[in-house]
Structure 1
């Protein structure tokens, strides 16, 4: 019998009871198959099956969770991946010719980390979509025999629903100063902390992976450094403090090492300077990272 990644049969998965999550101040209701939740999280399994009030009513209310964030978690529960969040347009950033020329002049020093280390890298899914032949057409050179024609026949193309879904899972890159990427960075970070709280190890790793890839391709325009500063604040407001042996929590280690790698750019930013002046644990971790002391 076919099963999903957790070993639960699809028949059991899709026929399980519906559990309602009432999310945010909007009180938006999400009705999710219970097995989709219980199969990935032990704490949520207890919530749904422990016989307490929420379990009996088959409903729980989380007012402190944003609707968009929970929607991505719900998508993960069914697909074991989630659509990358979108940036928002920042109308407060001027786009005058003077600023455009200044940004263009600065871009040489503000390249994404990925292009500095490994060059542009298309994902496996992107390469597959780009190379897929059109529906009903054979791939490769014209076939010479019936057997080769049969072997080279293809029926899928880049417009297939699965290809579109895979494309949506890929991270985004910023290409302008008016693209506010704070919502993108914070969405990945929230899913990571949510997964930590609910003991969902695969989602923890996935969210960190997506955040890591986004940071590697992030161009640190001077106007957009505040986006990363917001991410740092979130990590140090919500993550675990450094352990007694010096170990730094994974989200904090990632954002600190990113800032350290671009410290020559960040040190000129007023939001970053204010963050350092507040004297949080981040300042200590940043000094260690800049000095080459690996964050364990």
Structure 2
């Protein structure tokens, strides 16, 4: 508004591409030097109760298969076997975040090399400016409790705010978004239902951030790519991830660059 940009000189701004929620978060940052991240949404048919019912049906089908007795003219009826114990699924559904959660995707260690890839996010990524940012100790990242929660808005809406901050050189806001996304991804439990959201998040980032220039990679591109590298043991066989690779483009190049930069000693084994 008061700088040297064309919007300040013409006293006119065209933000037709900026949605209302992103503008509200920008205003919130302008007044409070902070913003409220968006919330997750529930996936239809994947509520805690529905997840419990699905697990119960699976156990019942398995129990029926194990109790089948072949018909025989001389066979005498056998007493119905006692139900297996314990039977937690016959009780009231447990609260959110407990036994009814679908299992988190297991990390598959293909080699010693894949163990090093996980460190590419949690140990080797540095967010500029966060060392002295008080947010690092005051921000509590939202945690996913089950496969019925979709974190797509949490990632995508903050990415939109980052793009706006980067376009207009609002460096404190840009670093703030990076810090919140980093902390959220650091504690993010990955379920099958969440892989697609991560892939769409990556597509948005690479479609709306500047390309690499002079060996420099955009900070948000670097963040999301290093995260994918760190969870490759979980999503390597996932169709959504394979489709992202098939798209090609700068993401694949950055993805391979990070993998190739891993210590060469495991590759020689």
Between 1 and 2, higher relative CO (CA 8 Å, sep ≥ 6) is seen in: 2
Give the one of 276, 280, 295 matched to 2:245.
276
Q: Is the 8 A contact 1:87 1:181 kept in 2?
A: yes
Q: How does 1:170-189 map to 2 (within 5 A)?
A: 170-189=140-159
Q: Could you say which residue in structure 1 is the equivalent of 2:175?
A: 205
Q: Is the 8 A contact 1:173 1:218 kept in 2?
A: yes
CA distance in 2, matches of 1:53, 1:199: 18
Deviation for aligned residue 1:214: 0.7
Aligned length: 197
Q: Could you say which residue in structure 2 is the equivalent of 1:193?
A: 163
Tell me the alpha carbon deviations over residues 31-89 of structure 1, each in whole angstroms, 9 at most, x when there is no partner.
xxxxxx64xxx366x524x2x353xxxxx452221111111111001001001211111
Change (3 A) 1:53 1:125: closer
DSSP-derived class of the 1:103 partner: coil
Give the one of 192, 196, 206 matched to 1:226.
196
CA distance in 2, matches of 1:199, 1:258: 25
Give the one of 4, 9, 18 matched to 1:65.
18
Q: Is the 8 A contact 2:43 2:149 kept in 1?
A: yes
Change (3 A) 1:126 1:275: closer
TM-score by length of 2: 0.64
TM-score by length of 1: 0.58
Q: Could you say which residue in structure 1 is the equivalent of 2:76?
A: none
Deviation for aligned residue 1:266: 1.4
CA distance in 2, matches of 1:219, 1:289: 22
- Say yes or no: does 1:257 pair with 2:217: no
Tell me the alpha carbon deviations over residues 232-252 of structure 1, each in whole angstroms, 9 at most, x when there is no partner.
1011111111224x3221111
Which has the larger Rg? 2
CA distance in 2, matches of 1:78, 1:66: 19
Change (3 A) 1:243 1:229: same
CA distance in 1, matches of 2:122, 2:165: 30
- Say yes or no: does 1:217 pair with 2:161: no
CA distance in 1, matches of 2:122, 2:7: 45
CA distance in 2, matches of 1:207, 1:291: 28
DSSP-derived class of the 1:85 partner: coil
CA distance in 1, matches of 2:23, 2:171: 17
Tell me the alpha carbon deviations over residues 187-234 of structure 1, each in whole angstroms, 9 at most, x when there is no partner.
221111111111101111001001101100111112111111111101
RMSD value, Cα: 3.2
CA distance in 2, matches of 1:53, 1:251: 30
Unpaired runs of 5+ residues, structure 1, are 1-36, 55-59, 119-123, 128-165
Q: Is the 8 A contact 1:83 1:170 kept in 2?
A: no
